[in-house]
Amino acid sequence: MQFIRIYNDDQGKSHFGEVNIDVRDGGPIGLLSERFPAGEMIFRETPADYDFKWHPAPQRQLLFIIKGSCEFKVSNGETRQFKGGDVLLLEDTEGEGHCSKALNNEIRHSIFVTLPEGTVF
């Protein structure tokens, strides 16, 4: 299983990367990963005109997009679009951060799951 991450380098610049999660046979229910520790859950509704300029993530967290679509931009100007069903790992907690904005005049529903220090994927 794979999803996108946004992380910062030693110079504080943000980048896109990938996270690969190993899954194994879980029997008749499908494939399962190992268990990972999680912190708190935050439910969020983002307005349709949301356009937040450069900011770092407030903490290391997973973002699960439930409904709506958005665009993230990193330091080198690269942009990527995400929609309901997508997951991002936000790790750019220092430096320049990223930009994020709503697309298609849609309200976005999402869930943040904070990650305890030391959680490694």
pLDDT in tens, 24-69: 999 999 999 999 999 999 999 999 999 999 999 999 999 999 999 9
pLDDT in the model for residue 54: 98
* Cα Rg of the chain, angstroms: 15
Domain residue ranges in the chain: 2-19+41-114
Q: Please, what sign has the CA dihedral across residues 2, 15, 112, 51?
A: negative
Q: What is the three-class DSSP state of 27?
A: helix
pLDDT in the model for residue 109: 98
pLDDT in the model for residue 116: 96
pLDDT digits 0-9 by tens, 82-102: 999 999 999 999 999 999 999
Q: Model-level pTM?
A: 0.94
CATH topology of domain 2-19+41-114: Jelly Rolls (2.60.120)
Q: What is the Cβ-side half-sphere exposure of residue 80, based on CA atoms within 13 angstroms?
A: 17
